[in-house]
Amino acid sequence: MNRATPPQAGPALAAFTQLLSSTRRGARLARLLTVTEMLSWEVPQDLAERAELVVAELAANAVLHGHVPGRCFRLALTYDRTAGRLTVEVTDARGECEPRVPAPDDGPDAEAGPLRTGGHGLTLVTALADHWETVPHPPGGKTVRAVLTTPPAGA
């Protein structure tokens, strides 16, 4: 008996890793590569849009705060289709610079509050990701890892 099998939506686990120059151009390329991978993996639009913004912020931080002359940063994406979970990892060469979300009254532009021109990147990552953390990347770097998930069906 012949039975038609439903088409597969792709592998259950997809991964992408790329070294990029620690420049503004490298940060922009990280975002563009993320968009391309999200499209090829057929990631749900909401998750893909959040991933694009998270990668843009983490890559910009890697270039701005994690830059070491002559060293690249690494972008790694892993999508678990079954769990609806995307993991974004951005690794840079400066492990001593621990990222943190600034308090509203933190920093030299404290008087400007929400109108200040910088310092909102990790606040945005916190809002868009389910969880983010920093882990050491020996011998001297760090990886900022953000996990994003799709909302459960019916939510």
Instruction: Report if residue 118 sits inside a domain.
Output: no
Domain of residue 34 covers 22-102+125-149
- Give the pLDDT of residue 119: 64
**Considering its fold, how many domains does the chain have in total?**
1
91 within a domain of the structure (yes/no): yes
For residue 111, tell me if it sits in a domain.
no
Confidence at residue 5, expressed as pLDDT on a 0 to 100 scale: 47
Least trusted range by pLDDT, from 3-7, 118-122, 124-128: 3-7
Specify if 119 maps to a domain. Answer: no
Whether 120 maps to a domain, the answer reads no
Q: Is residue 39 a part of any domain in this protein? A: yes
Beta-carbon-side half-sphere exposure of residue 96 (alpha carbons within 13 Å): 2
Q: pLDDT (tens digit, 9 = 90+) per residue, 31-53? A: 999 999 999 999 999 999 999 99
CATH code assigned at 79: 3.30.565.10
* Residue 10 placed within a domain: no
Question: Reading across the β-sheet that carries 13-20, which strands appear in turn?
Answer: 13-20, 73-80, 85-92, 141-149, 131-137
pTM of the predicted structure, to 2 decimals: 0.82
